[in-house]
Amino acid sequence: MERLMRSIKIGINEKIYLKDPESSDLGKRIVEQSILMIHEMGFESFTFRKLGEQIQSNESSVYRYFENKHKLLLYLASWYWGWLEYKMVFATNGIPNPTEKLRRAIEILTQTVKEDVTFSHVNEVLLNKIVINEYSKSYLTKEVDLENKEGYFVIYKRLVQRLHEMIITVDKDYPYPSSLASTILEGSLHQYFLKEHFPNLTDCDDNVTPTQYFTDLVFRTLTPKA
């Protein structure tokens, strides 16, 4: 699995970048170091100037890969969701029982990223934390409809769609499968955030995981067909 993951390239919409960061050493350093820096200082404080210094290159060189830091965030997010999608498809493939399949999917999608599989230069553990703290900012903008039309969110949308399909396979009569799917994905990020910063607003802690909460929620909600 690890070896396999390492050899896969995640297909990201080419309009997100000016030059594919996977195509050069500098590009990989941009991705690698931006993850460390955004995690460290947060998205608002992160700038291309600082990144340039960090990678011992130049601001202007970074701009040749990404138009701006917003596009870089879209890139990192797409990478993350593409990686999760891959893990999910792999883990659920071949499970015949729809209930078990959905259960496994929820597990993959809502669990913490513990090990650094180190898919080349990308630190998935930190990337997961970045997504928890910053992903919303990538779509809560005035440009969202335009960017959606450009296809910048396709991977995330496909992931929700896959979850949606697993839900209706378990219970074809459930009336809100899309909403439930999007609630699981978005809600999971939120529960992780609350656990860290607003522990009173969640039941998740060291002993209770978002995975347990959402698994319980989904299977109380759905009525599996006989």
Q: Rounded CA gap, 119 and 155, in Å?
A: 18
Between 34 and 133, name the residue whose CB sits nearer to a second copy: 133
Q: Which is nearer to a second copy, 86 or 174 (CB)?
A: 174
Using CB atoms within 10 Å of the CB of residue 153, give its burial: 0 to 12 exposed, 13 to 18 middle, 19+ buried.
Answer: buried
Give least dist CB 44 to DNA, A: 7
Task: Pick the binder of a second copy from 3, 94, 114, 175 (CB under 8 A).
Answer: 175
**Where on the chain is the footprint of DNA (CB under 7 A)?**
19, 24-27, 45, 47-49, 56-61, 63-64, 67-70
**What's the number of CA atoms in the CB half-sphere (13 Å) around residue 158?**
16
179 lies in the binding site for a second copy (CB under 8 A): yes
10 Å CB burial of residue 66 (0-12, 13-18, 19+) is buried
Compute the distance between CA of residue 215 and CA of residue 191 in angstroms, rounded to an integer: 13
Applying the rule CB under 8 A, the residues between 93 and 152 that interact with a second copy are: 133-134, 136-137, 139-142, 144-145, 148
Nearest CB to DNA, comparing residues 104 and 121: 121
Q: Choose between 61 and 99: whose C-beta lies nearer to DNA.
A: 61
Q: Look up residue 180 and give its amino acid.
A: L
Task: Please choose which of a second copy, DNA, none residue 47 contacts, taking the beta carbon within 5 to 8 angstroms, the exact cut-off set by kind.
Answer: DNA
Q: How far is the CB of 113 from a second copy (least distance, A)?
A: 19
CA-to-CA distance for 111 and 215, rounded, in angstroms?
11
Q: Under a CB-based contact definition with an 8 Å cutoff, are residues 94 and 114 in contact? A: no
Residue 190-209 contact track with a second copy, rule CB under 8 A, x = bound: xx-xx--xx-xxxxx---x-
The angle formed by the CA atoms of residues 104, 217 and 108, to the nearest 5 degrees, is: 25
* Partner from a second copy, DNA, none binding residue 179, C-beta < 5-8 Å depending on class: a second copy
* Partner whose binding site includes residue 67, from a second copy, DNA, none (CB under 5 to 8 Å by kind): DNA
Write out the residues near a second copy by the rule CB under 8 A: 41-42, 44-45, 133-134, 136-137, 139-142, 144-145, 148, 153, 157, 160-161, 175-183, 186-187, 190-191, 193-194, 197-198, 200-204, 208, 210, 213, 216-217, 220-221
